[in-house]
Amino acid sequence: MAIRTVDVRGLEHSEREMLIFPGIEELKPGDMFRLVVEFNPIPLVFMLKAREEFDLKFEKEGPEEWILNVNRIEKSKANDSTKKEYLKKLLQELKKGSVSEKTKEQVREFLSTVDAKTLGIVEQELIKEGVSYEEIRTNLCEIHLDMLRDSLAANRIEVQSPHPVHTFMEEHKVILKSLEELGRLAKRLKKAGSFKDVGDDVEKLKEISHHLVDAESHHQREEDCLFTRLEKHGVVEPPAIMKMDHEEFRKRKHALYKLAHHHGDYKFEEYKKQAIEYGEYLEKELTNHIFKEDNIIYQICLQVFSPEEWAEVKKECDRIGYCCFSPAEMETHTLDLRAIPPFQRHHKIFEMWDGLKKGGSFTIINDHDPKPLCYQFEAEYKNQYDWKYEQEGPKDWMVTIKKTG
């Protein structure tokens, strides 16, 4: 049995891929590929598992290095050129636009048997025939993500408030509600013949578009706090697709917002056409996007980020700020001043205060009455704060400070 060891520690993502993927593709039944990495290669394991061609075993699992043993499972292989023809046919079906579940299933099945090289050649041919690179990318990636999801579902990690993922998922629920409303509104609009038929929906569309725009901070937090970190962990493709989605949504949200707020500038037919187009797109695609995040992206994050990284994520998210509909408990923090040296207490309190958005609050615990602090708030943030004693001595004092303005 031939054993090939590839050590990718310290290499750039692209260099890693150049070493790992050809190495694994070339693996012959009976031989072994030993991969040495400095972090847990979870996405890769999922990717490979989903292909059902490999036997995977960890020889070592951290903390400094992970060694993964990859063996190819013997499998009767179909002839390469037949594969090419078959895939070409499938991709052409994808190209037609609407992808049926059946086609998807066929591609999925197929991807698990075809190697990357063949795939590359076929892609090249299709591009020559006029299929855009992006088209192939999106369609194939979609299916790759599906495959990933299946394997992730088995190891699902659940989290509680105030974990950032919990917040993201709660926000999704609110966004989904807006999207459902948008979908219903688009349906009603289809039957309408004039602005008069639409009635309150003109205002309603304004409101929905406002909520969707307000949700931009959700997507921004995902991009800045989660996606960039995933990339550092070598998970590049899935967050790149999600980011591209965000761009597409942003364009439509912008157009929908403009349309809703300037409805008077449009003839009804034009208004109707655009509102239905953007509305249906957002309802379908953003719902889909959220599903992928809840079930794949966040799960990958939960499996690859360390507790320290989550603490950083939380801090960065707080800095960016939340949507007006983010779960309220997000902003309830407790600051135990007894554990902090006196000269730092002040600083900590105002750091907390500055990071608070309107409506948010935090609770301080102190070993004496923090009355002087109350005076400072009165002097500097008059009418912008709310001061409430939760407990007044004799040993400890607890005060909840809320940002009201």
Q: What is the binding site for Fe ion (CB under 5 A)?
A: 222, 293
371: Cα within 13 Å, side-chain hemisphere: 4
CA distance 53 to 32: 13
Look up residue 20 and give its two tokens.
Answer: 């790992």
394 vs 405: CA distance, rounded Å: 32
Tell me the closest approach of the beta carbon of residue 213 to other proteins, in angstroms.
Answer: 5
Q: Which tokens hold the place of 216? A: 């931009």
- Give me the least distance between CB of 122 and other proteins, in Å please: 42
341: phi then psi, degrees, rounded to nearest 5: -55, 140
- Give which of other proteins, Fe ion, none residue 19 binds (C-beta under 5 to 8 Å, depending on kind): none
Strand partners, 34: 5, 69
Structure tokens at 67: 């060694």
Name the residue nearer to Fe ion (CB basis): 19 or 244. Answer: 244
Q: Does 319 bind other proteins (CB under 8 A)?
A: yes
DSSP H helices, 262-361, are: 268-292, 298-304, 307-320, 342-354
**Quick one: what does residue 293 bind among Fe ion, other proteins, none, with the CB cut-off 5 to 8 Å set by partner type?**
Fe ion
3-class state of residue 249 by DSSP: helix
- Interface with other proteins, residue 52, by CB under 8 A: no
Map residues 153-192 to x or -, x wherever contact with other proteins holds by CB under 8 A. ----------------------------------------
Question: CB under 5 to 8 A by kind: which of Fe ion, other proteins, none does 187 bind?
Answer: none
- Please, which of residues 368-387 interact with other proteins by CB under 8 A? 380-381, 383
Least separation in angstroms between residue 318's CB and other proteins is: 11
Q: How far apart are CA 136 and CA 14, in angstroms?
A: 21
Sequence-distant (6+) residues with CB within 8 A of 118 are 80, 83, 84, 87
Q: Which of Fe ion, other proteins, none binds 380 (CB below 5-8 Å, type-dependent)?
A: other proteins
317/331 Cα distance (integer angstroms): 11
- Residue 373 touches which of other proteins, Fe ion, none (Cβ within 5-8 Å per kind): none
Pick one of 347, 368, 371, 388: the residue that binds other proteins (CB under 8 A): 347
C-alpha distances out from residue 32 to 11, 22, 24, 165, Å? 22, 14, 9, 37
Is residue 351 involved in binding other proteins (CB under 8 A)?
Answer: yes
* Main-chain dihedrals φ then ψ at residue 169, nearest 5 degrees: -70, -35
Q: Which stretch binds other proteins (CB under 8 A): 17-25, 156-164, 209-217, 236-244?
A: 209-217
Which helix or strand (DSSP H or E) is residue 32 part of? strand 32-37
Tell the smallest beta-carbon distance from residue 162 to other proteins (Å): 20
**CB of residue 253 vs other proteins: minimum separation in angstroms?**
8
Considering the rule CB under 8 A, would residue 51 count as an interface residue with other proteins? no
From 262, 338, 371, 388, residue interacting with other proteins (rule: CB under 8 A): 262
- Residue 257 binding other proteins, by CB under 8 A: yes
Contacts of 9 (CB under 8 A, 6+ apart): 36, 37, 38, 65
CA 383 to chain centre: 38
**Interface with other proteins (CB under 8 A), residue from 39, 86, 268, 350:** 350
Regarding 251 and contact with other proteins (CB under 8 A), the answer is no
31 binds other proteins (CB under 8 A): no
Question: Residue numbers of the site for other proteins (CB under 8 A)?
Answer: 206, 209-210, 213-214, 253-254, 257-258, 260-262, 319, 346-347, 349-351, 380-381, 383, 405
